[in-house]
Amino acid sequence: MSVVFLSTGPPTGICRGHTVTLTELKLCAVDVEKLRSVAKKLNVVVDEKEEEHYRHLLNGLDATNKQIAELPAYVDPRLLPCPSTLPRSYEKLGGTREKNPLNTWSHQTSIHSSSPTDERLKGKTVAVKDNVSIAGVPLTGGTFPELLTGKSEYPIPEIDAVAVKRVLESAATVRGSANCEHFSMSPLSFTSASGPVHNAWLHGYTTGGSSSGCAAIVAATQVRKWRRKHGLSPIDAELGEGVDMAIGGDQGGSVRIPASYAGIYGLKPTHGLIPYTGIISLLPLVDHIGPMTTSLQDNMTLLSVLAGYDGIDPRCTPETPLRKNVPDYAGLLRSWTQQKEAKGEWTPQASGRGLRVGVITESLGVLGLSDEVKAVLEAAIAQFKAIGADIQEASIPMHLVGPSIWTIATRSDVTPAQFDQKAFEVLNKHNPAVVNMFFNSTFLNELPNANAMIAKALTHVQELRAAYDEVLKDFDVLLTPINPRVGSKHPEYDMNAGEKMEPAIGATLNTCQFNVTGHPALSMPAGWGKIPDGLGMLPVGMQLVAKRFDDLSLYKAAAAWEVAGKGLDKWNGQAN
């Protein structure tokens, strides 16, 4: 005997016409006490004469849930690894000093396609943040497996993230996964489960987070090139293997902040331009991945490879171009520079003619912005003037409110898969920022006006976007600092939570706004600054922001600025 539930929609919990046997109902039956418990959580008392009806309806939901639970896991065939990239193997490097002196690598591979569809990345090596799925390679999310899945082993994905598939299709070699910070929740690089990730320019100092390994792996290649250019002796043993480019993730600044500390180029593209499919998500509203490279040329090429609608990721919008319509950013920049060359404008005195650059006034007044960073930004502004750009101050008062909007719009959804005393003790030792996030989320969700405040913050996201859009009517790009201070020393593990968190305070005050508004933002090397607790020097970056889906303008402004001298070439000869 069986019972057929004829449901009109999800509230009654079962598909129209689905047949559930009485045996199944007994296995998943909801009793009256369960109904009363559900009602109590909603501060409701159900009249006894109505209880049986609502219990009956909950039974339908329970049966529906059971049906879904019994379905086999589904793997979208579009994400399965291409046979031309198989077989695969990997080596776990973890904290092995000899092979991994900067602690940049999580797992090393050497994956390439024997039948790529194009050769845009031929000869290039690529690493991906360790929240990006590579089929057959463990995925750590920068944390311990027990905190990630509740098991003692890391999951091994069956799929390649869309970003991985695309670089393989373009003839790159994927060299493996790069360490990242616990749950991608730190702007500094001491919180990974495998230990601190070191700055390639100065061991023992932060390289920023949460795409820390990506930044340091690319910077290892950058340091080698830079030392050769300046006639300095090689330090290969201190750097380990580097790569040409990496794919980092950014929810509040996690591509741009480490790119700035590492002296490389890091792009947070327009939201939805690059699919996020196959990557551990924090929140779709702010999830981005982007290229991290040693040069603008490589950054543009990698963006063209990665961008375009994939038919899967809901972060993509009607504005996201189909892959066949993705701009050739490098080609378009080349055409633009050739036009300027023909007019005699591609010189240190004229490369910026026609560019309109707005310096966000409020960005120079954020909490904790150091004199060292201000000096680098002032010199960068002077260089824009020197190349003939029209550079002016642009006041956007909401820029200072942006971090609060970002926080309330996103923080309530940051909830752990599991969190108990043991997890607290582990995270308190390694990354208090994660504990703070979980406490924040719980606190916000328990406020009596929680839903109203989150909804209000989301409306202000639109107001914030409109504020930038309005100013961008008058400018091609906006300019801000990125990190408020020059890179700091890694804290000691026996420090308390306050001491560990202190260097991170204010780190995202000029970056997180553009995660909720979706505007593209590029971090590029602008100069050097003295470290706060020693005699060494570390790179300082600047941020360029453009209209949504006008990522090309970032590259134009950056290339024009560098005609008068690249940021890393402003070295004063002081060795670290």
Q: Say which CATH number the domain at 402 has.
A: 3.90.1300.10
- Position 15 scores a pLDDT of 37
Region 527-538 average pLDDT: 90
The answer to whether residue 138 sits within a structural domain is yes
Q: Tell me what the mean pLDDT of segment 90-95 comes to.
A: 83
CB of 187 within 8 A of CB of 212? no
Domain boundary among 69, 95, 121: 69
pLDDT value at 532 more than 90: no
Rounded mean pLDDT of 358-365? Answer: 98
| Euclidean distance between CA atoms 444 and 454, whole angstroms | 9
Does the residue 368 lie in any domain?
Answer: yes
Cβ(564)–Cβ(348) under 8 Å? yes
Q: Are residues 10 and 153 in the same domain?
A: no
Phi/psi of residue 158, nearest 5 degrees: -90, -10
The least confident of 181-195, 245-259, 487-501 is 487-501
pLDDT at 301 over 90: yes
User: Within a domain: residue 74?
Assistant: no
Indicate whether 56 and 193 sit together in one domain: no
576 part of a folded domain: no
| Least confident window among 296-305, 415-424, 559-568 | 415-424
Residues 354 and 484 in one domain: yes
Residue 496 in any domain: the answer is yes
Instruction: DSSP letter for 284, please.
Output: T
pLDDT at residue 11, as a whole number: 36
| 159/244 same-domain check | yes
| pLDDT band per the 50, 70, 90 thresholds, residue 8 | very low
Q: What is the number of structural domains in the chain? A: 2
The token pair that represents 71 in the structure block: 């379905």
Last residue of a domain, one of 69, 92, 111: 69
Contact call for residues 219 and 201 (beta carbons, < 8 A) = yes
Q: How confident is the model at residue 573 (pLDDT cuts 50, 70, 90)?
A: confident
Whether residue 108 is found in the same domain as residue 207: yes
Q: Is the pLDDT of residue 26 over 80?
A: no
Q: Is residue 252 part of a domain?
A: yes
CB 539 within 8 A of CB 568: yes
Containing domain of residue 24, as a range? Answer: 2-69
Q: How confident is the model at residue 575 (pLDDT cuts 50, 70, 90)?
A: low
Instruction: Determine the Cα angle at 45 with ends 44 and 51, to 5°.
Output: 120
Whether 259 is in a domain gets the answer yes
Are 101 and 207 members of one domain? yes
Residue 94 above 50 pLDDT? yes
Instruction: Please report the pLDDT score of residue 5 as a whole number.
Output: 30
Instruction: Tell me the three-class secondary structure of 227-250, residue by residue.
Output: HHHCCCCCCHHHHCCCCCEEEEEE
Question: 60 and 86: one domain?
Answer: no
Kindly indicate the confidence band of residue 533, based on its pLDDT and cuts at 50, 70 and 90.
confident
Q: Are residues 406 and 305 in the same domain?
A: yes
Q: Which of 43, 69, 95 is the last residue before a domain boundary? A: 69
Residue type, 390: D
pLDDT at residue 343 tops 90: yes
443 shares its domain with 525: yes
| pLDDT tens, position by position, 460-480 | 999 999 999 999 999 999 999
- Is there a single domain that holds both residue 344 and residue 479? yes
Give the pLDDT band (50/70/90) at residue 564. Answer: very high
What's the confidence (pLDDT) of residue 17? 39
Q: What pTM was estimated for this model as a whole?
A: 0.92
pLDDT at residue 412, rounded to an integer: 83
What pLDDT does 347 receive? 98
* Mean pLDDT along residues 87-111: 91
User: What integer is the mean pLDDT of 340-357?
Assistant: 98
Share of the chain above pLDDT 90, in %: 83
Computed over every residue of the chain, the mean pLDDT equals: 92
Q: What is the DSSP string of 1-69?
A: -EEE---SSGGGTS-TT-EEEHHHHHHT---HHHHHHHHHHTT----HHHHHHHHHHHHHHHHHHHHHH
Half-sphere exposure of 340 (CA within 13 A, CB side): 24
Residue length of the chain: 576
Residues 38 and 175 in one domain: no
State mean pLDDT over 474-498.
Answer: 93
* pLDDT of res. 429: 87
Say if residue 379 is in the same domain as residue 317: yes
Burial class (CB in 10 A: 0-12, 13-18, 19+), 34: middle
Residue 575 lies in a domain: no
